[in-house]
A = this chain, B = another copy of it.
Amino acid sequence: MFAKFLSLDKEKQDRIINAAMKEFAQKGYDKASTNEMVKEAGISKGLLFHYFQNKKQLYFFLYDHMTQLLVEQIEEKVDKEERDLFIRVRQMALVKLEIFQMYPELFNFAKSIFMETSAEVIHEVGQRGKELLESYFKDFKGDIDFSKFKKGIDVHKAFNIIAWTLEGFGFQQQKKVQSLSIENLDIEEALKEMDEYLDMLRNAFYE
């Protein structure tokens, strides 16, 4: 169904994907403008509608395509046998970083889907989202080794603190990239800093 689009050279594909995700993420389905997308992607209006029948089809193409990418990457790069929470969390962060470098708008797009209120798409979004996200989180909770935690620590709360810290750190880095122009963010440096945060939390929560 998207054979024409998928046979484009990858660079152009990605330009279109990123432009569309950015617009949908910022404005929501209804207010997102296909005009803005084509301007940002540097293609003509006609071309976008040559590849995708209409706005809705484009939206769900992005949804499915990006979901697939996410699942693939997690499957490939996260070791499901690893039982240490911090190592698992770190692996997830690496996956996120890698994807972010290719599709900087993907996570904003994903977040925006949760907040979507448009009557046009909300039903179908609801349907597709359920299964996937559930299986994804069940996988993750899988079998973490909680015996390493100090006695008396509420592991659920500890997990939240770790997640929120990573989220906050990620957001901070994202803003840094946006302000300091293009990809001259020192990734090594950022990872080192992230590890320092994780070390602090490991010392705080592990025996």
Contact = CB atoms under 8 A, between A and B. Distances in A.
Interface of A: 26-28, 31, 153-154, 157-158, 160-161, 163-165, 167-169, 172, 196-197, 200-201, 203-205
B27 A161 contact: no
27 contacts: A26-B28, A27-B27, A27-B28, A27-B31, A31-B31, A153-B200, A154-B196, A154-B200, A157-B196, A157-B197, A160-B165, A160-B168, A160-B169, A161-B161, A161-B165, A161-B197, A161-B201, A163-B168, A164-B164, A164-B168, A164-B169, A165-B165, A167-B168, A201-B204, A203-B204, A204-B204, A204-B205
B31 A161 contact: no
A180 B193 CA distance: 38
A203 B149 CA distance: 14
Copies of this chain, whole number: 2
A28 B28 CA distance: 11
A163 B164 CA distance: 10
A152 to B, nearest CB: 9
Nearest to A203: B204
A48 to B, nearest CB: 20
Nearest to A200: B157
A144 B82 CA distance: 40
Nearest to A152: B203
The 7 closest A-B pairs by CB, nearest first: A164-B168, A204-B204, A164-B164, A161-B165, A164-B165, A31-B31, A157-B197
